[in-house]
Amino acid sequence: MSRYTAPPLPEIDVEEFRKVVTTRRSVRRFTDEPIPDDIVHDCLDMALLAPNSSNLQPWDFYRVVSPDKKKALGPACLNQNAAKTAAELIVVCGRTRTWKQHSAEMLDYWPEETVPRIVEKYYTVGTRVHYGTLPLDPFGRLKKLIRDVTGIRSPAPRWPNSSTDMQLWACKTAALAAENLMLAFRAHGYDTCPMEGYDDARVRKIVPLPRDAFIVMIVAAGRRADDGLYHRQFRFERERFIHEV
Ligand SMILES: Cc1cc2nc3c(=O)[nH]c(=O)nc-3n(C[C@H](O)[C@H](O)[C@H](O)COP(=O)(O)O)c2cc1C
């Protein structure tokens, strides 16, 4: 088996990256300037490059293009200005049931000439053991118990065990993609507001979703209005959150 040799890394200016990160703000009002289509798609493509669990890509992005749907999402997003004024609204979803199909497809999509045996085994057996859950809670507890017993002798993954765990599993990944998406818009000179302030049932009526899809956040995007920021950015002291152990 030949080893993959990655192409040389390009030079990266950390100060340019810092500019993107430090100027990203949750913007609550946008101008009525549209975002060019190719930029929106470029940002969505960058979202898809986010790290994700086992590369199983348990996410979906619904870009709302219908003017009627966009209008209806204003009230469904609790009349937030960010939603009402956004040029773009993207519903970022997690998926709890696509992993099995994606796992099987992984072998067809594998980018090298041969699929290493260990990879094949992981995507045919490993993922089923690791992510397979049964709908009833007691089975989740049973799976956890088996894992805890197995884990006494040697390190073993203790999680995920239940459908709730799988939501959390998909949510982590989809949230990372949402951050990529927001930073990509910023890098293009546009701004965003992640929103969890919405009426889930109403949003699902406007944007019909598969049964296993759940909304992680709705990302509003557009050109920052002069009065788009309500205050300066601030955080608590870093010592409260950064721990060296
Ligand atoms: C998951 C999530 C949900 C959020 N929901 C809303 C929301 O519904 N409405 C809103 O105005 N801001 C929302 N925000 C933005 C936060 O309020 C904001 O990120 C925080 O106040 C820090 O401000 P900054 O993003 O400008 O640094 C949300 C942020 C996240 C990460």
Decide if pLDDT at 37 tops 70: yes
Please give the pLDDT value at position 128: 93
Ligand 1 binding pocket (C-beta < 6 A) is 25-26, 28, 80, 82, 193-197, 217, 233
| Interval 16-23 mean pLDDT | 98
| Residue 10 falls inside a structural domain | no
**Residue ranges making up the domain that contains 219:** 26-229
pLDDT at 79: 98
CATH of the domain at 201: 3.40.109.10
Diameter of the chain by CA atoms? 61
Cα–Cα distance measured from residue 239 to residue 245, given in angstroms and rounded to the nearest whole number: 13
User: Is position 62 within any domain?
Assistant: yes
In a domain, 241, yes or no: no
Q: What is the pLDDT at residue 1?
A: 58
Kindly give the distance from the C-alpha atom of residue 92 to the centroid of ligand 1, in angstroms, as a whole number.
Answer: 14
**Residue 166 covered by a domain:** yes
What is the three-class DSSP state of 35?
A: coil
Beta partners for residue 92, in sequence order: 61, 217
The token pair that represents 17 in the structure block: 């990256």
- What gap in Å lies between CA 145 and CA 182, rounded to an integer? 39
63 located within any domain: yes
Write down the pLDDT at residue 36. Answer: 98
Cβ atoms of 92 and 207 closer than 8 Å: no
In this prediction, residue 143 has a pLDDT band, given cuts at 50, 70 and 90, of confident
Average pLDDT, the chain: 95
The predicted structure's pLDDT at residue 175: 98
> What's the domain count of the chain?
1
The closest residue, in CA terms, to atom 12 on ligand 1 is 195
Any domain includes 234: no
Residue 176 placed within a domain: yes
pLDDT over 90 (residue 159)? no
Distance 27 CA to ligand 1 centre (A): 9
